[in-house]
Amino acid sequence: MKGLQTGSLRRWKRDIYAECALAVSCLLLTCYESCPMESASQGPSSKSTVEEIRERFDNDVERFSNLETGQTATVDAALAMNLVAQTASRVTPQGKRLLDIGCGAGNYTLALLQQLPGLDVTLLDLSQPMLDRAEQRVREAGASSVKTVQGDIRKLPVEPGTCDIILAAAVLHHLRTPAEWEQVFANLYKMLTPGGAIWIFDLVESSDPAVNEVMWERYGQYLTAFKGEDYRDHVFAYIAQEDSPQSLMYQLQLLQRVGFSHVDVLHKNSCFAAFGAVK
């Protein structure tokens, strides 16, 4: 892949994400069961397993404990995190109970604790080493209480009305099918108190194939400028293997469909977006 010209990169990305157009068409036709979402030219069954994803994150705790090293492949990571923390604290200033799903090493919770000190925090992640590091950091940052749950967000026990704020940073793109997306969004809605909110930062597709192509080209340019073409190819390879992002519009519409009263977009740049919804 090294040395690709713009035209070749365009064709390569078009091939890798060719099925996005088909998936979006199926979603618009609401053919959820007959046409499950398949990202990056691979079906859900050929993606990395939960165990494989867990193992990768188990071995990468140190990198993800540092924003400067853990989110370098993410466009506008620091800006998005600060926007989410600031907005969450304004929307639910009296919030006390926080659930951070896919918490990693706890960066987003730490940012929110600077705005809302003394939160009761529940951390959920696949990786126990990540949870251990997140718990340590969150306790040191002054959380009133910290509970950790190792597990898959698709199997999270639903306790209605137990959270004021939910954070979901770089985790939802691991969902594989429209049915999983709808189930998880519906469960998160149930867990929030009235007036509570969910805040998301994640990799996103674009609904139109031509727009999607432009966004991925821009993301490729960002990665190349940061660390070169080999790094770009490495990032694109693990995205194709692990991730199944949905479009921003799909997620906003789904949030409303499961019951959220209104949604807002905080920021979008190329293939990444920060957004939220209030119950």
Q: Which domains does the chain have, with CATH numbers?
A: 6-278 (3.40.50.150)
Res 38 pLDDT > 60: no
Q: Are the beta carbons of 173 and 244 closer than 8 angstroms?
A: yes
Rounded Cα distance between 275 and 57, Å, is 25
pTM of the model: 0.80
Nearest to 201 by CA among 134, 121, 102: 102
pLDDT for position 46: 74
Res 251 pLDDT > 50: yes
**Residue with the larger pLDDT of the pair 47 and 220:** 220
